[in-house]
Amino acid sequence: MERSRMNLPKGLDTLCFDKDEFMKEDFDVDHFVSDCRKRVQLEELRGDLKLYYKLLKISMVELINKDYADFVNLSTNLVGMDKALNQLSVPLGQLEKF
pLDDT at res. 1: 44
d(CA 42, CA 30): 13
Angle (nearest 5°) at CA 56 between 52 and 59: 135
CB 74 within 8 A of CB 64: no
d(CA 78, CA 74): 6
CB 55 within 8 A of CB 11: yes
What percentage of the chain's residues is helix, strand, coil (to nearest 5)? 70, 0, 30
pTM: 0.61
80-95 tens-digit pLDDT: 788 888 888 888 877 8
Q: Is it the case that residue 45 has pLDDT exceeding 90?
A: yes
Please state, rounded to an integer, the average pLDDT across all residues of the chain.
84
